[in-house]
Amino acid sequence: MGGAVASTKPLCIALVAGEASGDTLGAGVIRALKQHFPDAEFIGIGGPRMQAEGLVTQVPMERLAVMGLVEVLGRLRELLRIRRDLVEFLKQRRPDVFIGIDAPDFTLGVEQRLRDVGIPTVHYVSPSVWAWREKRVLGIRQSTDLMLTLFPFEEEVYRRHGVAVRCVGHTLADEIPMEPDREAARRQLGLSPADQVVALMPGSRNGELRKLGLLFLQTAAWCLERNPQLRFILPCANSERRQQMESILADSGLQLPLTLLDGQSHAALAACDAVLIASGTATLEAMLFKRPMVVAYRMAGLTFRILKRLVRVGHVALPNLLAGQEVAPEFLQDAATPEAMGQALLDRLGPTAEREQTEARFRELHQLLRRDADQAAADAIIQLLRDKGRLA
């Protein structure tokens, strides 16, 4: 589908994203929709990338960036207020479609309330219903006219429950080259071609750095004792996270050959030999850059105990879920120690048959996810608008 689509009046399209990965997806959808609807208005909640594409945000996106069952409780009153105010605003504006991007605990509630008053709704990025609480699909069926998934294995559960679904792939798989240019990335970051470089990526949220920042630094120190030639790079999501990481580093007392980067996470992944990384979307990026990784995560103890009882799958890292086997070792909660993660990192440095097999598997998965995601999502949304009589 291409070219502008006829409409009797400029469309009003509402979107909500709750964190950086959703901001990336939202920006791509807005960009693709603008090719069809140059005069469309975009409103809702989003981050800097969505705003750069023209979204007018009602509150800063970071106010929604909270993760974990227990962690949400401290922010619950604020989150409920934001959602209530947003729903009232959107009921008054009557957008032609609402697109909730990830953040299901927030966006699905918005979708339900808007769909109840006749506003078409789309949910972009499936919650992990295939991993735990599959019955959530029944609520999604009541809230959402169309589910857009990132990964092919997610479609079946929705079809089984009668939910309209389309796998659109992942925009990052379209953007990231099949063969990243390591030498160019190293020049950009001032790294020598001969350096052995480990990227540390403890997350983009305040809470993730509090739980993983020091742990990742301690793991780097453990590795450095055994391989003094190592260098480390750590991309910081924004100025606040950089200040937080600088404080963690200063308090640790560790002396490391570490460079903190302002953003540049893709350059860091292209340049490194291996990466120690927090579980989440960043593991998908590391996979797309074909980098051997060690995955870690820690959360509130009660959250972990609850999830451990509910989750039905054997892996948490996206590359492992996509591959159907462990291609990246996972260290969760108490298993995430400097010694265990450090040894796993050292095992993944240098050319080995296992490393070559992992990189080959990552190439296969990368190709599987290349589906022109932004345009595929826009096409699905346009079809929904047609089906709902929102287009002439």
Looking at the fold, whether 103 and 189 belong to one and the same domain comes out as no
332-351 burial, b if ≥16 CB within 10 A, otherwise e? bbeebebebbbbbbbebbee
If DSSP codes are grouped into helix, strand and coil, which group holds residue 118?
A: coil
Could you tell me what percentage of the chain is helix, strand and coil, using 3-state DSSP and rounding each to the nearest 5?
Answer: 50, 15, 35
Looking at the fold, whether 179 and 291 belong to one and the same domain comes out as yes
Q: Using alpha carbons, select from 346, 225, 203, 385 the residue that is nearest to residue 278.
A: 203
Looking at the fold, whether 149 and 213 belong to one and the same domain comes out as no
If DSSP codes are grouped into helix, strand and coil, which group holds residue 252?
A: helix
- What is the count of structural domains for the chain? 2
Burial label for 179, CB within 10 Å (0-12, 13-18, 19+), is exposed
Looking at the fold, whether 156 and 197 belong to one and the same domain comes out as no
Looking at the fold, whether 290 and 230 belong to one and the same domain comes out as yes
Structure confidence at residue 130 (pLDDT): 58
DSSP assignments along 256-268, one per residue:
--EEEEES-HHHH
Residue 27 lies in a domain: yes
Looking at the fold, whether 137 and 200 belong to one and the same domain comes out as no
Looking at the fold, whether 157 and 47 belong to one and the same domain comes out as yes
Looking at the fold, whether 63 and 100 belong to one and the same domain comes out as yes
**pLDDT digits (tens), the chain, 392 positions:** 455 554 468 999 999 998 888 999 999 999 999 999 999 999 999 999 999 999 999 998 887 865 544 455 556 788 899 999 999 999 999 999 999 999 888 999 999 999 999 999 999 999 877 555 667 888 999 999 999 999 998 999 899 999 999 999 999 999 999 999 999 999 999 999 999 999 999 998 888 899 999 999 999 999 999 999 999 999 999 999 999 999 999 999 999 999 999 999 999 999 999 999 998 889 999 999 999 999 998 766 655 454 555 455 566 788 998 888 899 999 987 899 999 999 999 999 977 788 889 999 999 999 999 999 999 999 999 999 999 999 97
Looking at the fold, whether 383 and 282 belong to one and the same domain comes out as no
Domain that holds residue 153: 12-169+371-387
Looking at the fold, whether 217 and 343 belong to one and the same domain comes out as yes
Q: Please, are residues 208 and 278 in contact by the beta-carbon 8 Å criterion?
A: yes
Structure confidence at residue 88 (pLDDT): 97
The CATH number for 189's domain is 3.40.50.2000
Instruction: Report the distance separating Cα 363 and Cα 361, nearest Å.
Output: 5
